[in-house]
C-alpha cells in the first residue's frame, strides 16, 4: 500500500477504478486492487491495476500515484518492488508530475517503467494520457 495521506486515498482509488474501466470498456480483462485490497495477484504482488492483453498471455501492470505519493520513500517502498516483480510496468501520475516521477525512477535505478499521466477536470472526471493499447 502506498505512502499517501489518508485524505487522498479516495482520489487514488477513483483513479484506479477509472483506469480499470478504460480497459474493460475496450474489451480487455482488467483487475484492480484499490485501498490495499487484494483482489488479484500478479507475479506475487498486488499492483493497482492489471490488464490482460487480448489473445496473449501478457499483461499491462500499473501503479497509480497521487501528488503526495510521488516521493523517494514511495520509490523505495513500492516502485523498486514493482521493478523486480514485473518485466515492464507503468506508473500513472498526476499531469505535471511526470518529470519528478521519472527523476525518482532514474535515481533509484528503475529502468523498466514507463510514466503515464492522469488529469482531473472541473467536473470531477479525469483523463489518462500515454496508456498502452488504447
Query: Mean pLDDT across the stretch 34-56?
Result: 89
pTM for the structure as a whole: 0.92
The structural architecture, per CATH, of the domain 6-129 is 3-Layer(aba) Sandwich (3.40)
pLDDT in tens, 84-130: 999 999 999 999 999 999 999 999 999 999 999 999 878 877 899 99
Q: Residues with Cβ < 8 Å from 84, sequence gap 6 or more?
A: none
pLDDT band at 43 (very low <50, low <70, confident <90, very high): confident
Q: List the domain boundaries for the chain.
A: 6-129
How far, in Å, CA of 82 to CA of 85, rounded? Answer: 5
Higher pLDDT, 77 or 5: 77
Give the SS3 label for residue 110.
Answer: coil
DSSP secondary structure, 9-53, as one string: HHHHHHHHHHHHHHHHHTT-EEEE-GGG--S--BTTB--SEEEEP
pLDDT computed for residue 3 by the predictor: 53
Amino acid at each position: 500500500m502506498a505512502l499517501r495521506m489518508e485524505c487522498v486515498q479516495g482520489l487514488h482509488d477513483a483513479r484506479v477504478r477509472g483506469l480499470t474501466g478504460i480497459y474493460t470498456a475496450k474489451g480487455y480483462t482488467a483487475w484492480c486492487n484499490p485501498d490495499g485490497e487484494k483482489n488479484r495477484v500478479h507475479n506475487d504482488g498486488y499492483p493497482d491495476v492489471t490488464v490482460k492483453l487480448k489473445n496473449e498471455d501478457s499483461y499491462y501492470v500499473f501503479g497509480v500515484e497521487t501528488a503526495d505519493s510521488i516521493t523517494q520513500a514511495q520509490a523505495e517502498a513500492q516502485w523498486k518492488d514493482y521493478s523486480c516483480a514485473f518485466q515492464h510496468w507503468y506508473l500513472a501520475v498526476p499531469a505535471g508530475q511526470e518529470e519528478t516521477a521519472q527523476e525518482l525512477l532514474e535515481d533509484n535505478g528503475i529502468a523498466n517503467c514507463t510514466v503515464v499521466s492522469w488529469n482531473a477536470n472541473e467536473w470531477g472526471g479525469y483523463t489518462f494520457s500515454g496508456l498502452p493499447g488504447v
